[in-house]
């Protein structure tokens, strides 16, 4: 009998457990979450609208019952087994089949399965019931009973540290408190005589890149399994090799084999090559050759290393990934769950997000440790589109307990998930936690980096070190030795935030405790790898109108907009509003309307992202000088409609910052920096007689693996008239895979505030890269309104031009389906730009730029 999975996905109903007399109601979908079902039945309002979050906090402290009925399949033989499989349960449950308790769960992050051969009614009706307890109340009880008290907790109730439930659901600085429950991933009934318990093909590519080994391990349940047949197909579907191996007598149910592949078709990160995927198909057969079960995996063949070696001149070590012997500059964004109600996320939505990432010149995404291990479709999309994944384990911003029970839970969770995901070539790093080492430093945890005895760590006031520095690295070494492990983010060894080793979170811009840095200072806060930084902005006016239902509340000082700034904590609304306002007022003259306030916040975010990404990219200088090797902005996406750090709103509509980053991460760029330098100082004490001058520094960067030659065209252009007051053309070479300094010139004092500097790289008459440098801050400039700006639409193209320098031209359209190739651009006279707008089809666009936003 061939194994078969029967989805248990129909006929589901639910009710509040304490209301014994109330009827069961139909669920909104399956898999599901309690808030979706209550909303579907009109019991609660849409939690995303207005301040409805406040009205539904009671849900997380109740118990809920889910129930369905299904017809049991027939028993083909006495050897037929039945197993119920629960891919994901949120979180604490008691499960009954035909009124008999069969299972309890307490971890949202793992699959549960139970043999129900003796309980199932073949060819009859069966009733499956799941009672979901309040994980919040269970956590509070466990916290009260615990002997260990956490020395730090940031975001959410401290009881979250006791339970294995997504931390962000307790409320975070980007998400409200939604204490969900429900069957959040599929449920199956599997019938079998043999079934795969584990199947993991793992590839290793030789240093020469001329060959690869694929190691296949299968673990099978079932008494009739005799041998394992494995076939490997190349990316074009051609059979490469096949083997048949018996199951081990020494290790019952285990079969192993190995394949050697010559001249493998290599998987590359996007921007460095293609993403070919091989398919591995495995079949378990009985002694008489009858197929019993089969499965398949897609794999990518790539050589991966994390390079941490001494730099030539700067202190510390590098921190960069080498794929197929090519050093890679990692660039991209952090990822949080893209909907607070996880079952609502479809594979199509995952694909749309990852396609946005690839289109934006990103090559890496960091799955943040306060969310979830994502659905397979997320990782499939990253495999297919060449997006590398930095993957945190789900531990964030708290000093977790380290009791034997908790350690066993974390170990089980880690093993399950690294095995589930280890065939994906996109995963290039497993990381122990988010910010736990950092907060341990801040709160003076007992952390002796030189103490190498893990048993001693358990006796300190920060026993969770055992998880990150012992338990998880041991799991990764055993299960995924080919994938680098990093103890935490940020982490640099003896100091979590040492900028010379490991990674850092660069938050001096936006949330420095004493006084936030101007975003023009991002160059001051680099590290070897910057895995978090960011600036908040408002979503579009269209998005705001979707979640603020009262038109009178659609203004910059709106209570509802403040609520969506930082919904997990009322006390921090004002702080975040002031910070948004600070960066707007420090840099721009902005009018008081909502439209202009939104524009000002989005332009400040876009400008900040340019200063960050370009400053750190400049430090990627070639072998021995990889002074910065990665920059991952916080954050790509939103979990609900909000004022946040995201590059695109909840409905995947890109903000201007997305396009600013896209330009900063293009394969070839040119950039201009204005810097003040000290020319002379008569003595060490004087300040009045120090001579300083402002200089233009022009540099380029080449992410490709070939040297490139261009014509560099530099111009100084009057801001008020648009007149070219100086021009220079230079032949330049950009060396492969690094930045190159191109030109330096003093800028006269009378030009310092009156001209913009245009830089273009040109080859064959085509502009490969353009950049326009403005005096900072922009609020000091008298920008012309540019009333004669020309914006012309032809089918799916928008032609734009201006007779004077123009800052931050943002195009918008009513149709969410339109995809702009670029946006939030600067213009100079004589440089007409064409923006492709897929799906526009000649329809009108509206626009805003800084020259009119001040009115």
- Measured CA to CA, the distance from residue 398 to residue 487 in angstroms comes to 15
- Residue 795 CB contacts under 8 Å (≥ 6 apart), including other chains: 840, 841, 842
- Measured CA to CA, the distance from residue 672 to residue 653 in angstroms comes to 29
- The residue to which tokens 């193209």 are assigned: 797
What residues pair up with 192 in beta bridges, in sequence order? 81
In our burial notation (b when 16+ CB lie closer than 10 A, e otherwise), range 678-711 reads eeeeeeeeeeeeeeeeeebbbbbbbbeeeebebe
- Which class for 667: exposed (0-12), middle (13-18), buried (19 or more C-beta within 10 A)? middle
In our burial notation (b when 16+ CB lie closer than 10 A, e otherwise), range 72-110 reads beebeeeebbbbbbbbbbbbbbbbbbbeeeebebbbbbb
Assess contact for 436 and 399: CB atoms under 8 A.
Answer: yes
Torsion angle of alpha carbons 727, 729, 730, 733, nearest 10°?
110
CA-to-CA separations, 639 to 196, 218, 347, 646, in angstroms, rounded? 35, 37, 16, 10
- The residue to which tokens 């969410």 are assigned: 816
Assess contact for 634 and 541: CB atoms under 8 A.
Answer: no
CA 95 to chain centre: 34
- Measured CA to CA, the distance from residue 68 to residue 130 in angstroms comes to 9
- Residue 81 CB contacts under 8 Å (≥ 6 apart), including other chains: 115, 117, 191, 192, 193, 195, 221, 222
- Measured CA to CA, the distance from residue 206 to residue 703 in angstroms comes to 24
Neighbouring C-beta atoms of residue 347, cutoff 10 Å: 13
According to DSSP, the β-strands at 708-718 and 724-734 are antiparallel
Assess contact for 580 and 643: CB atoms under 8 A.
Answer: yes
- Residue 452 CB contacts under 8 Å (≥ 6 apart), including other chains: none
Assess contact for 639 and 340: CB atoms under 8 A.
Answer: yes
- Measured CA to CA, the distance from residue 491 to residue 442 in angstroms comes to 13
What letter would DSSP give residue 469?
A: I
Torsion angle of alpha carbons 760, 764, 766, 768, nearest 10°?
-50
Assess contact for 237 and 250: CB atoms under 8 A.
Answer: no
CA-to-CA separations, 75 to 1, 18, 121, 123, 497, in angstroms, rounded? 10, 38, 10, 8, 60
Half-sphere exposure of 770 (CA within 13 A, CB side): 14
- Measured CA to CA, the distance from residue 74 to residue 346 in angstroms comes to 33
CA 435 to chain centre: 16
Nearest Cα to 331, choosing from 682, 715, 701? 701
Annotation says 819 is catalytic: no
Nearest Cα to 547, choosing from 79, 49, 36? 49
Nearest Cα to 639, choosing from 71, 171, 153, 43? 171
Q: Which of 87, 435, 479, 626 is catalytic?
A: 435
Assess contact for 518 and 545: CB atoms under 8 A.
Answer: no
Q: Where are the beta strands (DSSP E) in 574-707?
A: 630-633, 668-680, 691-702
Catalytic residues: 435
């Amino acid at each position: 009998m061939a194994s078969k999975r029967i989805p248990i996905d129909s006929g589901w109903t639910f009710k509040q457990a304490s209301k014994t007399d109330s009827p069961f109601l139909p669920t909104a979908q399956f898999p599901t979450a309690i808030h979706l079902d209550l909303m579907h039945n009109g019991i609660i309002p849409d939690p995303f609208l207005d301040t409805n979050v406040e009205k539904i906090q009671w849900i997380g402290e109740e118990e809920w019952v889910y129930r369905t009925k299904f017809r049991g399949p027939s028993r083909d033989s006495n050897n037929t087994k039945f197993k119920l499989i629960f891919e994901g349960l949120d979180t604490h449950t008691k499960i009954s089949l035909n009124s008999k308790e069969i299972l309890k769960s307490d971890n949202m992050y793992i699959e549960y399965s139970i043999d129900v051969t003796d309980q199932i009614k073949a060819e009859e009706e069966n009733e499956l019931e799941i009672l979901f307890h309040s994980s919040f109340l269970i956590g509070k009880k466990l916290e009260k009973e615990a002997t260990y008290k956490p020395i730090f907790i940031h975001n959410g109730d401290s009881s979250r540290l006791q339970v294995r439930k997504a931390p962000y659901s307790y409320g975070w600085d980007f998400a409200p408190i939604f204490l969900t429950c429900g069957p959040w991933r599929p449920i199956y009934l599997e019938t079998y005589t043999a079934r795969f318990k584990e199947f993991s093909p793992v590839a290793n590519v030789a240093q020469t890149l001329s060959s690869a080994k694929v190691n296949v391990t299968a673990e099978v349940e079932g008494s009739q399994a005799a041998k394992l047949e494995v076939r490997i197909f190349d990316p074009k579907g051609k059979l490469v090799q096949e083997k048949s191996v018996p199951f081990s007598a020494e290790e019952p149910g285990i079969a192993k084999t190995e394949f050697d592949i010559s001249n493998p078709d290599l998987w590359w990160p996007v921007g460095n090559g293609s993403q070919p995927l091989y398919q591995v198909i495995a079949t378990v057969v009985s002694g008489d050759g009858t197929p019993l079960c089969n499965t398949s995996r897609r794999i990518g063949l790539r050589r991966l290393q994390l390079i941490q070696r001494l730099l030539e001149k700067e202190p510390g070590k590098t921190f960069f990934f080498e794929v197929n012997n090519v050093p890679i500059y990692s660039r991209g964004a952090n990822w949080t769950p893209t909907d607070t109600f996880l079952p609502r996320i479809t594979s199509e939505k995952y694909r749309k997000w990852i396609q946005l990432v690839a289109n934006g010149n990103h090559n890496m995404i960091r799955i943040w440790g306060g969310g979830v291990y994502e659905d397979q479709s997320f990782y499939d999309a990253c495999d297919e589109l060449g997006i590398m994944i930095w993957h945190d384990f789900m531990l964030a911003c708290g000093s977790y307990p380290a009791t034997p029970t908790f350690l066993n839970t974390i170990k089980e969770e880690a093993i399950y998930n690294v095995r589930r995901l280890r065939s994906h070539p996109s995963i290039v790093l497993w990381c122990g936690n988010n910010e736990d080492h950092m907060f341990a430093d801040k709160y003076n945890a007992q952390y002796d980096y030189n103490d190498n005895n893990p048993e001693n760590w358990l006796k300190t006031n920060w026993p969770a070190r055992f998880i990150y520095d012992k338990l998880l690295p041991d799991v990764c070494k055993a299960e995924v030795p080919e994938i680098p492990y990093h103890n935490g983010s940020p982490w640099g060894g003896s100091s979590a935030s040492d900028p010379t080793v490991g990674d850092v979170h660069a938050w001096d811009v936006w949330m420095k405790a004493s006084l936030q840095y101007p975003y023009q200072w991002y160059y001051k806060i680099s590290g070897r790898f910057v895995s978090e930084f960011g600036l908040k902005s408002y979503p579009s006016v269209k998005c705001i109108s979707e979640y603020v239902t009262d038109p009178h509340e659609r203004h910059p000082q709106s209570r509802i907009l403040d609520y969506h700034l930082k919904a997990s904590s009322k006390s921090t609304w004002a702080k975040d509003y002031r910070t948004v306002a600070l960066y707007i007022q420090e840099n721009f003259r902005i009018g008081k309307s909502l439209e202009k306030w939104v524009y000002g916040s989005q332009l400040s975010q876009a400008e900040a992202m340019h200063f960050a990404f370009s400053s750190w990219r400049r430090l990627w200088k070639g072998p021995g000088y990889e002074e910065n090797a990665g920059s991952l902005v916080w954050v790509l996406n939103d979990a609900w409609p909000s004022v946040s750090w995201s590059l695109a709103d909840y409905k995947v509509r890109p903000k201007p910052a997305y396009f600013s980053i896209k330009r900063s991460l293009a394969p070839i760029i040119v950039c201009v920096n204005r810097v003040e330098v000290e020319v002379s100082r008569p003595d060490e004490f004087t300040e009045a007689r120090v001579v300083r001058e402002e200089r233009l520094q022009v540099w380029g960067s080449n992410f490709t693996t070939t040297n490139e030659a261009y014509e560099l065209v530099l111009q100084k252009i009057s801001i008020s008239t648009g007149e070219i007051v100086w021009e220079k053309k230079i032949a330049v070479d950009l060396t492969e895979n690094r930045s190159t300094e191109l030109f330096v010139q003093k800028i006269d004092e009378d030009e310092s505030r009156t001209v913009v500097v245009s830089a273009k790289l040109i080859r064959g008459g085509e502009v490969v890269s353009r950049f326009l440098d403005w005096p900072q801050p922009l609020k000091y400039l008298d920008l012309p309104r540019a009333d004669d700006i020309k914006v012309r639409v032809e089918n799916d193209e928008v032609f734009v031009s201006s007779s004077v320098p123009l800052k931050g031209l943002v195009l918008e359209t009513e149709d969410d389906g339109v995809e702009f190739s670029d946006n939030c651009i600067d213009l100079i006279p004589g440089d007409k730009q064409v923006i492709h707008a897929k799906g526009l089809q000649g329809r009108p666009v509206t626009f805003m730029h800084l020259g009119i936003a001040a009115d």
